């Protein structure tokens, strides 16, 4: 079976985890701190805070920005459910902004129009969460401009995008946002099994995030923080969770981070090979951005023609030993969000996109010959069909 995506683990990763097991630290040790320093340096951000999943990082990001009851978060409907759920977990509310049909990312024009309308009804969002879908950066300059004009905070859901770039910086530099979040799930750019990262340039936000991932407890008590300076005392000024990353995960993360640029390069090569080989087929390949700076987490193609063509391609590929996937069923159409008042037709671009999209195999371990097989099977289906 050719997988649509899978983790890439080599002997150096295995050795790193075994070393961590022998190090005397399973949690709250030096590997997590080193991983945070190296990720922050790689992305060009002041702070990185490691947590137990991307979802935990999104939750902590909202809590760190004091997002809560009475607040409103807007995100893209073309994302994983966690981008929206984090707002509800904080007691806030969620709405969506439709996508750009060319980039599949949250559309800055739609955002601007929705902000104008929301201002007149007094329902402006507290947080806007662009999602760098498939690893391709959103138009952060436009979003930052709107944030300044309308006074909302920006959390980048960069779960697909570690190793990608925006304009002249790496995604995660937070030069145009308050916080950026990465997922380290098995099939993301790099993995720690499960894991997540929150990046920020704001000291206050980073301090809150560090407390919130560990029960809301303050580490490194300064002498003036306690009335009696008892050496065993700790203080809990906030309500937090246990979202800590283990040393085993951080050791794997450090090892994977050293291989990240190679992973992205391979993903880019594969994306270019697909684009060349699909040039004359009746399907839309992802637009490649100037300078090709996407992290290429996914390779979504769109089919032309009948309503069920995507399903038939999916099944034909599967019959020939090739796995594919669909990203994403629009989040506002999930039962939970329908119960909360959303319905078909609310975000037509995201719904139309969903109807005919399919993610083809793309991961650093995919060989040229496996990719050629995918191309061959798809070509034979489409030439018989169209």
Per CB under 6 A, residues contacting ligand PLP are 53-55, 79-80, 82-83, 131, 157, 159-160, 183, 185, 196
d(CA 197, CA 130): 16
83 or 246: CB nearest ligand PLP: 83
Q: Please tell me whether residue 360 adopts helix, strand or coil conformation.
A: strand
Residues sharing a CB contact under 8 Å with residue 109, sequence separation 6 or more, in sequence order: 100
What secondary structure letter does DSSP report for 255? H
Which residue lies nearer to ligand PLP by CB, 40 or 50? Answer: 50
Nearer to ligand PLP, 58 or 349 (CB): 58
**100: closest CA among 76, 84, 118, 81?**
76
The CA distance from 377 to 300, in Å, is: 16
Give the count of alpha carbons within 13 A of 343, CB side only.
Answer: 1
Residue 283: CB minimum distance to ligand PLP, A: 23
Smallest separation (angstroms) from ligand PLP to the CB of 284: 21
CB closer to ligand PLP, 67 vs 80: 80
Q: How far is the CB of 82 from ligand PLP (least distance, A)?
A: 4
The CB-of-58 to ligand PLP minimum distance in angstroms stands at: 6
Q: How far is the CB of 132 from ligand PLP (least distance, A)?
A: 8
Of the two residues 268 and 327, which places its CB atom closer to ligand PLP in the complex?
A: 327
Which residue of this chain has its Cβ atom nearest to ligand PLP in the complex?
54
Least distance from ligand PLP to the Cβ atom of residue 159, Å: 3
CB of 115 to ligand PLP, least distance (A): 22
Q: Are 199 and 43 in contact (CB under 8 A)?
A: yes
Of 89 and 124, which has the nearer Cβ to ligand PLP? 89
Q: What is the DSSP string of 26-61?
A: SBSSHHHHHHHHHHHHHHT-SEEEEES-HHHHHHHH
Q: Which is nearer to ligand PLP, 160 or 208 (CB)?
A: 160
> How far apart (Å, rounded) are the C-alpha atoms in residues 15 and 2?
27
Provide the greatest CA pair distance for the chain: 80
64 phi and psi angles, rounded to 5 deg: -65, -35
């Amino acid at each position: 079976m050719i997988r649509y995506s899978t983790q890439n683990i080599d002997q150096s990763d295995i050795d790193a985890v075994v070393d961590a097991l022998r190090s005397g630290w399973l949690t709250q040790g030096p590997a997590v701190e080193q991983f945070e320093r190296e990720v922050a340096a790689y992305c060009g951000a002041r702070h990185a805070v490691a947590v137990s999943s991307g979802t935990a990082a999104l939750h902590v990001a909202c809590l760190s920005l004091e997002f809560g009851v009475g607040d409103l978060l807007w995100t893209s409907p073309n994302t994983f459910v966690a981008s929206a759920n984090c707002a509800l977990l904080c007691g806030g509310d969620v709405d969506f902004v439709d996508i750009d049909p060319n980039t599949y990312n949250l559309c800055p024009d739609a955002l601007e129009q929705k902000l104008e309308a929301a201002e007149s009804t007094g329902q402006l969002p507290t947080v806007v969460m662009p999602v760098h879908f498939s690893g391709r950066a959103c138009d952060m300059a436009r979003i930052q401009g709107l944030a300044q004009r309308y006074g909302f905070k920006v959390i980048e859901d960069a779960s697909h995008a570690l190793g990608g770039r925006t304009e002249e910086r790496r995604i995660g530099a937070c030069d145009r946002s308050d916080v950026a979040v990465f997922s380290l799930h098995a099939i993301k750019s790099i993995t720690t099994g499960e894991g997540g990262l929150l990046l920020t340039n704001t000291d206050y936000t980073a301090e809150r995030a560090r407390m919130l991932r560990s029960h809301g407890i303050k580490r490194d008590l300064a002498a003036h923080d306690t009335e009696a300076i008892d050496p065993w005392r700790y203080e809990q000024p906030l309500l937090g969770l246990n979202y800590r990353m283990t040393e085993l995960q951080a050791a794997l993360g450090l090892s994977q981070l050293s291989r990240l640029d190679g992973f992205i390069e391979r993903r880019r090569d594969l994306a270019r090979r697909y684009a060349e080989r699909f040039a004359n087929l009746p399907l839309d390949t992802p637009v490649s951005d100037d300078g090709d700076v996407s992290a290429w987490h996914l390779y979504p193609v769109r089919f032309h023609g009948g309503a069920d063509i995507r399903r038939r391609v999916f099944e034909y590929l599967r019959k020939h030993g090739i796995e594919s996937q669909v990203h994403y069923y629009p989040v506002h159409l999930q039962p939970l969000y329908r119960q909360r008042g959303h319905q078909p037709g609310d975000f037509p671009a995201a719904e139309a996109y969903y109807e005919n999209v399919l993610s083809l195999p793309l991961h650093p371990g995919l060989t040229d010959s496996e990719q050629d097989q995918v191309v061959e099977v798809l070509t034979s289906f489409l030439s018989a069909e169209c």
